[in-house]
A and B are shown apart, each in its own frame.
Chain A
Amino acid sequence: MKSLKYIWRNVTRNKLRTILTVLSVSFSLALMTVLHGYIAMQSVWGTEAKKNNRVVVMNIQGFSGAVPIANVDKVRGVEGVKSAVPYSWYGGDYKEERMPFAQFATDPKEVFNVWDEFSIDPDQLTAWQTDRQGCVVDRQLAEKRGWNIGDRIPIQGTFLPLNLDLKLCGVFDAPKYTDSLWFHWQYLDEGLKQMNSFGSGNSGTIFAKAHSAAAIPGIVETIDSMFASSQNPTRTQTEAAFAQMFADMLGDIQAYIRYISLAVVFALSLVAANGMAMSMRERTTEVAVLKAIGFPRSRVLKMVLGEACLIAVFGGILGIALGCFVLQFLHGISSQFFPIGMADLAGPWLLYLLAIAAGIGIVSGIVPAVRAAQLSVIDGLRRVV
């Protein structure tokens, strides 16, 4: 504690060098925060999904296949299923913006039974159910876009050759921001049929709500058995597993992300080490004086390492804060791709990143610290005398 003042003064001695070092560390940590945050997001999404007792039915070939719409009624009839809806990702553009929010085609009569944690004004729900071109959106999305009930929302098709002309009938409230718009699956299907387009008569997935968590294993087995011999066999999984699937789709990319980010961190450690070495070289005489008046090697070592760690941890805190801000910002503008906000994302992985920042400090400071500790007092004093 007695050395803290001296360490702090040394940190602020060459402000430009310290700022540049802090920024280099913070940049790498911000990058790591975003990458690791995205990976953590998939995990948190899966954990959140476990609470909802929902299963997702998709073609066994994955997103490249479809699920016939007739299967929705069959799923509804499975024992333990409370409700089921088609759920097709549309992925359209809004005005000049490319896929700015999520759009799903679904069944307005049942969708709030499947997502029963969501709520909507009954009159608005009725209005949507009775208007084929109607849609409902997350309240935060409506507020962000300044949409009001009755507004027209034109969506241009991207991978589906159909444009939508939607009318806002209502806003729903969700426990967490979904960045989503729901519209009639039938409106989509009729348009595709008129164009003789692929995809008509099918849904991307079916979401089903189970009466209880205990019923889910039976539901999964029953559904997949039911369609095993059909032209479109299914793969049914819990919503949590569905979320995990997106994380798994990243596959080795997760490992690559970790390796690349660690390589960036290591490279920047060397940059920080160079700065620290330069700083210590300029202070050779000072170190010699400290040792002459009785500072032991261990204390000199700790002081130099403390200085390097302080700079790195400052950079780390700044970088992690910046990374969290970026993640929150991305969640705010695009919840379909960044579904979890920082309030739910914060966890031990942030401490792991802070430990990495401290590690940068140790790596960058260890060589100058050892050299300072081993400095011959006489050689150090001779430099200027």
Chain B
Amino acid sequence: MAEPIVVVRDLYKEFHREQIVIPVLMGIHLEMNAGDFLALMGPSGSGKTTLLNLLAGLDKPTSGTVTVVNSDLGTMWPGELAKWRSRHIGFIFQLYNLIPVLTAYENVELPLTLTRLPRKERDQHVRAALELVGLSDRIDHYPRQLSGGQEQRVSIARAIATDPTLIVADEPTGDLDATSAGEILDLLERLHQEFEKTIVMVTHDPNAAARAARLIHLEKGVLVDEGGPVLTRGEPA
């Protein structure tokens, strides 16, 4: 059996607001195998985004370990983490967070500029990613010239351009209408099924969670259940 690529052991995370200590995650254990599509659900303040940030190497645990592709993220320096993220993590944000002064092509190329790939290969990666998300005809468009759904698809292209080990998506459909959200979820599902990408998705939306292969439910920083999809596709929330 293949080794899991994500291993979380006894994870605690606290935030400090002046003198007050706010526990956010309390004793999380989690494993993910390559090719998993995991949905994280839970009410606001339950710790979903905090867990996502820890898995993506954006934050460090208070205690416990987060190991992704054999790297213990808690022990790495900021510079190491930045380099590690550029190689292993693809980000999809709720508000897309594209760079407004760059075209769709340039936004997708951005993470590739951190690699040693020559220009020609970067171009191939960018075009392939935009082709995959169905935006080959919009490569020269700026974010302001795209719809919300198209912006999110560019964001997905940016996330996959470097072929990362893990894609983390924070409420990827949270700012979209139902049609656009459906298209984005189709795309994520395709990345999972056809390209066997490993995806962690935070969502409030049970319909979105239903697309994932696994569901984790967080309640006040504690993993309360883990199982298969709670809803089948198309079922009302």
Does A3 lie within 8 Å of B113, measured CB to CB?
yes
Residue B87 interfacial (CB < 8 Å): yes
Question: Looking at B53, B82, B94, B113, which has the most chain A CB atoms within 10 Å of its CB?
Answer: B82
Residue B111 interfacial (CB < 8 Å): yes
Given A9-B101, A10-B101, A286-B99, do A381 and B106 touch, yes or no (CB 8 Å)?
no
Does A384 lie within 8 Å of B95, measured CB to CB?
yes
From B53, which residue of chain A is reached at the shortest CB distance?
A378
From A298, which residue of chain B is reached at the shortest CB distance?
B79
Total number of A-B contacts with CB less than 8 angstroms? 69
Does B99 lie within 8 Å of A6, measured CB to CB?
yes
Does B99 lie within 8 Å of A297, measured CB to CB?
no
Residue B85 interfacial (CB < 8 Å): yes
Residue A377 interfacial (CB < 8 Å): yes
Q: Could you tell me the distance in whole angstroms from the C-beta of B94 to the nearest C-beta in chain A?
A: 6
Does B95 lie within 8 Å of A385, measured CB to CB?
yes
Within 8 A of B (CB), among A222-259: none
Residue B97 interfacial (CB < 8 Å): yes
Which residue of A9, A293, A297 is within 8 Å of B85 (Cβ)? A293
User: What A residues does B180 contact at CB under 8 A?
Assistant: none
Residue B213 interfacial (CB < 8 Å): no
Does B93 lie within 8 Å of A294, measured CB to CB?
no
Q: Could you tell me the distance in whole angstroms from the C-beta of B201 to the nearest C-beta in chain A?
A: 15
Given A286-B99, A296-B83, do A381 and B93 touch, yes or no (CB 8 Å)?
yes
How many residues in B have their beta carbons less than 8 Å from beta carbons of A? 30
Does B79 lie within 8 Å of A6, measured CB to CB?
no
Contact with A along B55-92 (1 / 0, CB 8 A): 01011000000000000000000110011111101010
Residue B224 interfacial (CB < 8 Å): no
Does B58 lie within 8 Å of A294, measured CB to CB?
no
Q: Could you tell me the distance in whole angstroms from the C-beta of A3 to the nearest C-beta in chain B?
A: 7
Q: Could you tell me the distance in whole angstroms from the C-beta of A291 to the nearest C-beta in chain B?
A: 7
Given A289-B93, A385-B94, A385-B95, do A297 and B79 touch, yes or no (CB 8 Å)?
yes
Given A295-B114, A385-B94, A385-B170, do A6 and B83 touch, yes or no (CB 8 Å)?
no
User: What A residues does B102 contact at CB under 8 A?
Assistant: 5-6, 9
Q: Could you tell me the distance in whole angstroms from the C-beta of B204 to the nearest C-beta in chain A?
A: 13
Contact with B along A4-19 (1 / 0, CB 8 A): 0110011011000000
From B88, which residue of chain A is reached at the shortest CB distance?
A294
How many residues in A have their beta carbons less than 8 Å from beta carbons of B? 24
Does A295 lie within 8 Å of B53, measured CB to CB?
no
From A11, which residue of chain B is reached at the shortest CB distance?
B101
Residue A213 interfacial (CB < 8 Å): no
Does B82 lie within 8 Å of A294, measured CB to CB?
yes
From A10, which residue of chain B is reached at the shortest CB distance?
B101
Does B85 lie within 8 Å of A292, measured CB to CB?
yes
Given A293-B86, A294-B111, A295-B114, do A5 and B106 touch, yes or no (CB 8 Å)?
yes
CA distance A75 to B60 in the complex (A): 90
User: What B residues does A290 contact at CB under 8 A?
Assistant: 99, 110
Given A289-B99, A385-B170, do A2 and B79 touch, yes or no (CB 8 Å)?
no
Within 8 A of A (CB), among B97-150: 97, 99-102, 106, 110-111, 113-114
Which secondary structure dominates where chain A touches chain B?
helix
User: What A residues does B95 contact at CB under 8 A?
Assistant: 384-385
User: What B residues does A53 contact at CB under 8 A?
Assistant: none
From A1, which residue of chain B is reached at the shortest CB distance?
B113
CA distance A242 to B236 in the complex (A): 96
Residue A26 interfacial (CB < 8 Å): no
Does B59 lie within 8 Å of A294, measured CB to CB?
no
Does B91 lie within 8 Å of A293, measured CB to CB?
yes
Q: Could you tell me the distance in whole angstroms from the C-beta of B61 to the nearest C-beta in chain A?
A: 13
User: What B residues does A28 contact at CB under 8 A?
Assistant: none
Residue A203 interfacial (CB < 8 Å): no
CA distance A336 to B109 in the complex (A): 60
CA distance A2 to B110 in the complex (A): 9
User: What B residues does A291 contact at CB under 8 A?
Assistant: 82
Q: Could you tell me the distance in whole angstroms from the C-beta of A380 to the nearest C-beta in chain B?
A: 10
User: What B residues does A13 contact at CB under 8 A?
Assistant: 100-101
Within 8 A of B (CB), among A1-44: 2-3, 5-6, 9-10, 12-13
User: What A residues does B158 contact at CB under 8 A?
Assistant: 293
Residue A71 interfacial (CB < 8 Å): no
Q: Could you tell me the distance in whole angstroms from the C-beta of A381 to the nearest C-beta in chain B?
A: 7
Given A289-B93, A293-B111, A294-B85, do A377 and B58 touch, yes or no (CB 8 Å)?
yes
Residue A285 interfacial (CB < 8 Å): yes
CA distance A291 to B82 in the complex (A): 7
Q: Could you tell me the distance in whole angstroms from the C-beta of A371 to the nearest C-beta in chain B?
A: 15
Does A294 lie within 8 Å of B114, measured CB to CB?
yes
- A and B contact pairs by CB, cutoff 8 A, 12 listed: A13-B101, A292-B56, A293-B85, A293-B86, A293-B91, A293-B114, A293-B158, A294-B82, A294-B84, A294-B111, A295-B82, A381-B97
* Closest CB pairs A-B (n = 9): A294-B86, A9-B101, A2-B113, A294-B85, A296-B82, A289-B97, A293-B111, A377-B58, A294-B114
